Amino acid sequence: MEQNPSSSRADRKTIEKNRRNQMKALYSKLNSLVPHQSSRESVSLPDQLHEATNYIKKLQTNLEKMKEKKGSLMGVEMSNPCMDSGTTMGLRFPQIQVHDTGSTVQIVLITGLDDSQFIFNEIIRLLHEDGVEIANASFSAVQDIVFHSIHAEVQDSSAGGNDAAARISARLNKFVQDVSAN
């Protein structure tokens, strides 16, 4: 049984037309996902694809920057990507940051889940020994990392409060270093 050549040609034209319509719809969908300048003139298809490509590259760069920032905030030490395929070497616990704002001190303590309670209690004890009044203390846990935030007021601000805050900071940092060494 022989096919009619005009019927076969019509089928190919229909298939090609459907393919073009599908591609046009996909280009339109891609174009709608890319933020545009306020110009209302139509942009050629190659220019739309170029814009989309640049936008995706920009998003990838931003994502990498955010990952690095997150890693530094969480105390993650990033390995050399050439040596370890971009994986993390490991977490360094505990970590402490002391921010002196005059008569008040903000302490951010990052610990592992296992040693969280002990280190936090010791920090509070050391602060009380130094005559620091705790105004607020809170924590949050993300997977196996615990973030502690302590807001405190240095009592002897009239007698060298900045010196007291520096002394407290040095004492807490030494304690955390000693805990890390063990």
For the stretch 52-61, pLDDT in tens is 999 999 999 9
Residue 13 lies in a domain: yes
Q: In what order do the strands lie in the sheet with 104-112?
A: 95-101, 104-112, 145-154, 132-142
Same domain, 16 and 66: yes
Residue 170 confidence (pLDDT) above 50:
yes
- Could you tell me if 174 and 125 lie in one domain? yes
> Which pLDDT tens digit goes with each residue over 141-156?
888 888 999 998 887 6
Residues 61 and 116 in one domain: no
Structural domain includes residue 82:
no
pLDDT above 70: percentage of residues in the chain: 82
Q: Identify whether residues 69 and 106 lie together within a single domain.
A: no
Stated as kind and residue range, the H or E segment containing 52 is helix 45-74
pLDDT of res. 83: 38
Indicate whether 84 pLDDT > 50.
no
Percent of the chain with pLDDT over 90: 16
**Residue 80 located in a structural domain:** no
- Give me the residues paired with residue 78 across strands: 88
Residue 123 located in a structural domain: yes
Task: Identify the sign of the CA torsion 162, 153, 117, 147.
Answer: negative
- Distance CA(21)–CA(122), nearest Å, equals 68
Number of domains in the chain: 2
Residues 19 and 99 in one domain: no
Residues 69 and 102 in one domain: no
In angstroms, the Cα distances linking 34 to 29, 53, 55, 79, 150 are 9, 9, 7, 33, 43
pLDDT, greater one: 23 or 178: 23
Are 169 and 154 spatial neighbours (Cβ–Cβ below 8 Å)?
A: no
Domain hosting 20: range is: 5-35+42-73
Residue 78 inside a domain? The answer is: no
Greater pLDDT, 81 or 105: 105
Looking at the fold, whether 53 and 133 belong to one and the same domain comes out as no
Name the band, by pLDDT with cuts 50, 70 and 90, for residue 69: confident
90 forms beta bridges with: 77
Residue 31 vs residues 17, 47, 58, 61, 181: alpha-carbon distances, Å: 21, 10, 16, 20, 55
Same domain, 109 and 51: no
Q: With respect to residue 108, please indicate whether it lies within any of the assigned structural domains.
A: yes
Instruction: Grade residue 22 by pLDDT with cuts at 50, 70 and 90.
Output: very high
Residue 139 is which amino acid? F
